[in-house]
Amino acid sequence: MFRSHLLRLAVGVVSLTAVAACGAPAPPGAAAAAATTPPPQLAAFHDQQITWQPCDGFATSAADRALYANDRFDCARVQVPLDYADPDGPRGQVALLRAKARGEKIGSLLVDPGGPGGSGASFVASLGPVWDNVPVGERFDVIGFDPRGVGASTPRVDCFTDAETDRNALPSTYLFDVADTDRARDIARRCTDATGGVEALTSVGSDNVVQDMDVLRAALGEEKLTYLGYSYGSELGAMYAQTFPQNLRAMVVDGAVDPDISEAQLRLSQFAAWQKAFDDLAATCATEPDCPLGTDPARATEVFQDLTRPLLDHPAPTTDGRTLTYADMVPAVYSSLFSPAQRPQLLQGLRDLAAGRGDTLLALRDAALGRGPDGHYGGSTHIDANLATRCMDNPRRTPAEQAELRDRARRAAPFLDPGRPGGPTHYECEGWPEPPSRTLPWSTDTAGLPPTLTLSLTDDPGTPYQGGVHLARALGGSLLTVEAAQHGIALYGGNACVDRAVTDYLVDLVTPPPGARCGG
């Protein structure tokens, strides 16, 4: 899932406190096994020296340029093989941003904010006030990395111009808007040409990112990796743990993806979670004056449909000359359900739409898809990279399977049903130049792992709760249940119980007791 909402949530979070441990430390020797020695052909990558420098030149958006100008941060690039089967061949570079430890350093904490397509560098920079005030920022160099395909890393996935993305030329994960094989092939061709060829485009699968993470660990001088991953970052963490179990010191995953289900099943679970979040919003809204969803929660879906379906034929005007289409509205709405803090703005957007204006919802859409005020897409979210990584990670679906998924998704979330018969639809990855490179299931063998910590939120609208339960079980680690209705919470969400547990674990390797829970 996209992580731009995490950056919005982070604003104003400046003071979190850790207190005494709430569980038992990891058993002696749990992480004492020697780190895996890299194959000789990768030694040069593992042994490279990182040269840290000011972050000028690493930002890919105006917002990031302002964030990266902070002297608190420095940046670097680490070389990696484009193809790990051919380490003497072409190379890529992974960009890093570091918030240096304020005190006695334990090591480096590698952070991925999710996506795929999320910029770890942008995420870590946006949380600068957090690292300045929490023990994790005192004891660790916090390292955000742009996975290959994203941001300042190379190769960088590029498919469409900013103007084309404004017109929703890139297919949406949730709109099922690829009409035929020719359109699927055109998308793949555009991405291949603009990214630098087939080898570059198809190198961005998660299996290669996991290999990159181990190069980063070694280049950072860490015998063992300490990792914090949100949402899709939980997939990277679990895959790393399976591939390099002896190289892992500690791992926190938050908003975990379910390892027991397919990508199609994950999408369906998200639609169902969005409908529940929408229903909860409608119930709360009905008690307030001027609720755009009406005073009867049982009719809220119908009211929403009546309000948004006309956008299919008549986009709403905005003050900057653009218009709000139905395709714009969908990401504006579902991304706003990720956080209670965003829901008032969503309701205001619906009020504005009822009055004939699309400005507020279009602003929410732009934030979700990484569009800056200057019209440039990038920064915290890279939607082209999201597509390319998914295409290299997940099995292809036939047109019949894609149509069935669409129809089931609309039944799971009727408030997002456009109300028109579904025509032909093709999987957005159908025309990709290479087959998927990731082995599924992506988490199976957890032998030899140290204790891990999985956070799962009871009403998470992005990665439903049971996914975290299943991933914690697959990892053989601890589960912390958090009673909250948002997507991700660790260290930036202002929840003292959660931050205490995460800090105790990352700093002292103390895990919460079985059945541990934190209130919202």
Q: Which residues have a catalytic role annotated?
A: 231, 460, 487
Q: What radius of gyration, in Å, describes the C-alpha atoms of the chain?
A: 22
Is the Cβ–Cβ distance between 172 and 330 less than 8 Å?
yes
Is the Cβ–Cβ distance between 269 and 1 less than 8 Å?
no
Is the Cβ–Cβ distance between 87 and 41 less than 8 Å?
yes
Residue 197 is which amino acid?
A: G
DSSP string, 375-388: S-B-TTB-HHHHHH
Buried b (16+ CB within 10 A) or exposed e, 437-452: ebeeebbeebeebbbb
Is the Cβ–Cβ distance between 179 and 430 less than 8 Å?
no
DSSP string, 172-202: PTTT----SHHHHHHHHHHHHHHHTSHHHHT
Identify the three-state secondary structure at position 118.
strand
Half-sphere exposure of 43 (CA within 13 A, CB side): 4
33 DSSP assignment: S
DSSP string, 127-143: THHHHTTSHHHHHEEEE
C-alpha to C-alpha distance for 471 and 238, rounded to whole angstroms: 8
C-alpha to C-alpha distance for 495 and 130, rounded to whole angstroms: 13
C-alpha to C-alpha distance for 55 and 169, rounded to whole angstroms: 32
C-alpha to C-alpha distance for 59 and 50, rounded to whole angstroms: 19
Is the Cβ–Cβ distance between 118 and 381 less than 8 Å?
yes
